[in-house]
Amino acid sequence: MHAKPYDLQALLYEITQAATEGKVDAQDLTRISGLVLDRLGCATADEAWERLYADWKGLPRSTVMSGMRAGQILTILPMLRHHQPVTDQERLGELMREADTHGPGDSWRAMVTAMGSTAGLQQVESPADMEAALARIEQSRLALPPGSPTRDALDAMHAGLRAHLAQLGGGEDDFDSAVEDLARLRDSPVFDLAARLGVDAQLAVFRSHQAVRREDETALAQHIHELESVIAQLTPDHMDRVGMEAHLDVARANLEMLSARREGRLDRDPSALGSAAPTIDEVRRQIALLPRQGQADRLGEAGISSIARTLLAGDAQGVLEAMRLLQDALDLLEPDDDRWIRNAFTLGTGHCALAGMAGAPRADRARHLDQGISWLKHTLRLSGGPAYPLWNTIGMALASAYRLRGDNQLFNARATCLNHAESRRVGLDAVRAATWSVLLQSGTAHAAETGRRAGEQALDVARWCLADGAYDDAVRALDAGRGLVLHAATVAATVPDMLGALGQTGLADEWRAAGDVVPELGPEAALAARPAASGPSSRLRRRVLQALAASPYRQRLLDVPTTADICQALRAMGRAALVYLVPGGDGVPGTALIVSADGAAKGLRLPQLTVSARPLADYRAAGAPGRTAGGPPTVTTPQPQRPAPDGGRAALERLCDWAGSAVLEPLVKELPRGWGRAPSVVLVPMAELGVVPWHAARLPGRRGSRRYACQEAEISYLPSARLLCEVAARPSTGARQALVIGNPTRDLHHAGEEAEAVFRTFYPDGELLGPGTATPTAVTDRLRRQRGGLLHLACHGVVEQGLRHSSYLLLSGGQLAAEELTEGTARYRHLELVVLAACSTNVSGHGYDEAYSLSTAFLVAGARSVLGSLWTVPDEATSMLMYMTHHYMCREGQQPGQALRKAQLWMLDDRRQPPPGMPADMVARVRQIDAADPAGWAGFTHLGW
């Protein structure tokens, strides 16, 4: 039997004509894709693909005809993919090379490239395949003039592929930049009215994802309204309607969940979802009009959104119907398809949710839980590893399911123990894998958004471990979710060396070239709505991570320190213990998780340690107690007024009382003590506990007297055990070079005096920079040349949530931002000590558990020790405290943490005396210090050695 003859040029003309007549409703798409099979005389997409390739293979190669035919096949291929995936990458590569090399003209080749690249939008390919498609588009667009319709079409395809790649690979900077590019192209003449409506819908969906990631309810509500507006303009059978309604359902559910979380509600309000979605029967009717692959897409989207809606409403029957949609979608997909994994994951979570839903029959709940665990285990195995974006989410869902099953085994202690052990194991793996997602992000803001979710998950898993008495596991869990942005920045600086050791010199050079950061140009930059990405892009990071993950360096990337590692670091630094302060929650009381230098890990129950404790809530509401002097005092300068009893100082004092009775009093008793010295401890406060000055906790004393915790113990802080071990490995250079910065903005009189006194008294061989000379460039250039020693900065410090630079120092004519210290590859090796005599320099602008501040940024940048502040510190008291800290370091040989503690004790002493050599203007102010006001001394913290 002879094969049916066909004419590809005529077929392409028919497709074009059919599209111009209307490719809007679902049946239109089915009709056009069916037209291809009919004209080729084939029953299936596989059969059509085989015939097209075989016929092309029979042509003479390296001719215009061969190149044109290859391009025609690539142009027709998207129609076949509506029926069935075509994944033969070797053959596709042949066709693309032939079309690129021998096709007729740049514009023709560009359009073929665009059409061929739609593969990445129709189905999920590997990141490498999508990178190759992006490279082809980038090459083709260079031959086209800017602003031309063909170039705009390529740019739109490029943006769509980058967004898809970001969703597949987890790079938020790629996603955000792709969204902005698509928005820029929205008014291009390449889009007609119908296509522009589709772009508006896609932008609304993408931006709703961004709003959820940033927890921005206002923006999410706006994008929901935008999507509702687009849907209102669609015909009932529009091919994209079901998908858009599914995205709308998910966005509405996310908005309600964000609202409930902000308000502290455990329940969800189904009425907040807006108008009712179509019935399941109507959804199925619309989907049935689509080709096979379109049906698989829409069944999955509708199933996922329906589960979100019905779970929110507590509708068990609705969950079952939504799960049937997902099951139907799975029947149309292969297990190696990313859509299969996502649908199977949602199906598993649906079963697990039914196990705890009041509307589900009690007799069926255990069965649903077992089925859910089976689905989640299978899905986790198929996802392959931490490089897969959903690995962490699937793992946490599975861990929670094991936990629930263990809790339900009321009369089987062994089953409870086994399920709880498995929940800890899977949960630890999931939280550890979150590190991969953070390492993938370009720019601190994107990394912090990802790290925030990891911190919350780590706290959940740690509480499971604490409840089970598994203290070593609790340590691993907590550290796996702490300071991940700082860990990523630390790793980033060593990437070129690791790649070089693996022989990947080209990749190492790419990383170095991409390591420059985006500088802050001036105050107008603060008006930017969102931070810009900086440093190597996620696309480059993905390639680097894949190279390192297959090497011995994988452990450095993902693993957290063991208890033995922590103990070794503690002994090296002369510390008695590392203590995580874990707030209570989920039925687990607050706990001080203590890792002693002798290798023991134990938990100390602290029932009053919660983030909802009234003194902590009042303190956060009242704000920090500090104040900043505006200039030199004069005879007419009014004396500062004592704050009202309910003001910042009163709230701070109540906080210090609570911190002492609830935490530090019982904790100090548990700390190992050296002979004749106070115990030395490193604190890692979790969540909102990071705002508390624990060293200023007030302990009950004899006969009603009170003592501060710093009088009983040496207290330092660090964001994580990872950074503890990193800093402990830095040897002391003993360098005495010093760079002192004083009052660079001319409005901190005492800061200028402080810098002058510190410089002339203790570091006369160093360098002093002030107004006009202490520019950001001058400071960083001198640090690069200095190669060690000390940096003292007496200036303004600023913390601003959500901006490109979250925290920065105001220098002469510009800013020195924390992000500039961590996002690039430059590091200041052998820097012994950084003294940040400025406001809020140990306050995080990216979330408590990230602990990302100027202080921790300097640790990442190479410093062994940093002194930083927790609030807006008073100029006069700060100058005195800083002078005395340098006195104890230089005159008595104290380590930085010990020197700061002795200076604080000196401030607390009503009988304090000025040391020999103190400048006369400071001596005159020694007796004016109010020891009863903790705002003047307790704001400063020590980090590191």
**pLDDT tens profile 560-574:** 999 999 999 999 999
Between residues 608 and 142, the one the model is more confident about: 608
Q: What is the DSSP string of 257-322?
A: HHHHHHHT-SS--GGGG-SPPPPHHHHHHHHHTS-HHHHHHHHHHHHHHHHHHHHHHT-HHHHHHH
Contacts of 185 (CB under 8 A, 6+ apart): 152, 155, 156, 159, 191, 199
pLDDT attached to residue 388? 87
DSSP 478: H
pLDDT attached to residue 518? 40
CB 208 within 8 A of CB 251: yes
pLDDT attached to residue 639? 36
Q: What is the DSSP string of 38-69?
A: HHHT-SSHHHHHHHHHHHHHTSPSSSHHHHHH
Single-letter code of the amino acid located at 80: L
Q: In terms of residues, how long is the chain?
A: 945
- Tell me: the pLDDT tens digits for 523-546? 333 223 333 446 788 889 988 998
The predicted model gives 141-168 an average pLDDT of: 87
Q: Kindly state the helix (H) or strand (E) to which residue 456 belongs, with its residue range.
A: helix 444-467
pLDDT attached to residue 281? 86
The pTM of the full predicted model, rounded to 2 decimals, is 0.85
3-class DSSP state of 538: helix
Give dist(CA 404, CA 93) in Å, integer: 49
pLDDT attached to residue 703? 65
The predicted model gives 932-940 an average pLDDT of: 89
Burial 325-350 (b: 16+ CB within 10 A, else e): bbebbbebbeeebbbbbbbbbbbbbb
Between residues 809 and 736, the one the model is more confident about: 809
pLDDT attached to residue 466? 96
- The CA R_g of the chain, rounded to the nearest whole Å, is 31
Contacts of 654 (CB under 8 A, 6+ apart): 615, 618, 619
Distance from the Cα of residue 664 to its chain's centroid: 32
pLDDT exceeds 80 at position 522? no
- Taking the CA atoms of residue 314, residue 246, residue 180 and residue 847 in that order, the dihedral angle to the nearest 10 degrees is 10
Give dist(CA 945, CA 937) in Å, integer: 20
Q: List strands edge to edge, sheet with 831-837.
A: 601-605, 591-596, 577-582, 680-685, 714-717, 940-944, 865-869, 831-837, 789-794, 738-742, 767-769
Give dist(CA 540, CA 533) in Å, integer: 13
pLDDT exceeds 80 at position 79? yes
Contacts of 810 (CB under 8 A, 6+ apart): 744, 745, 795, 796, 797, 798
640: confidence class by pLDDT, cuts 50, 70, 90:
very low
Give dist(CA 864, CA 835) in Å, integer: 11
Torsions phi, psi for 170 (to 5 deg):
90, 15
**β-sheet bridge partners, residue 809:** 797, 816
Instruction: Indicate if the alpha-carbon torsion angle 140, 141, 142, 145 is positive or negative.
Output: positive
- Tell me: the pLDDT tens digits for 219-235? 999 999 999 999 999 88
For the chain, the farthest-separated pair of C-alpha atoms sits apart, in whole angstroms, at 110
CB 696 within 8 A of CB 602: no
pLDDT exceeds 70 at position 20? no
CB 466 within 8 A of CB 482: no
CB 573 within 8 A of CB 945: yes
567 is written with which tokens? 């103990």
pLDDT attached to residue 165? 87
- Tell me: the pLDDT tens digits for 648-706? 788 999 999 999 999 999 999 998 876 667 899 999 999 899 999 999 999 987 666 78
Q: What is the DSSP string of 649-700?
A: HHHHHHHHHHHIIIIIHHHHHHS---TTS--EEEEEE-GGGGGS-GGGPEEE
Tell me what the pLDDT averaged over the chain comes to: 86
Lowest mean pLDDT among 595-604, 823-832, 888-897: 823-832
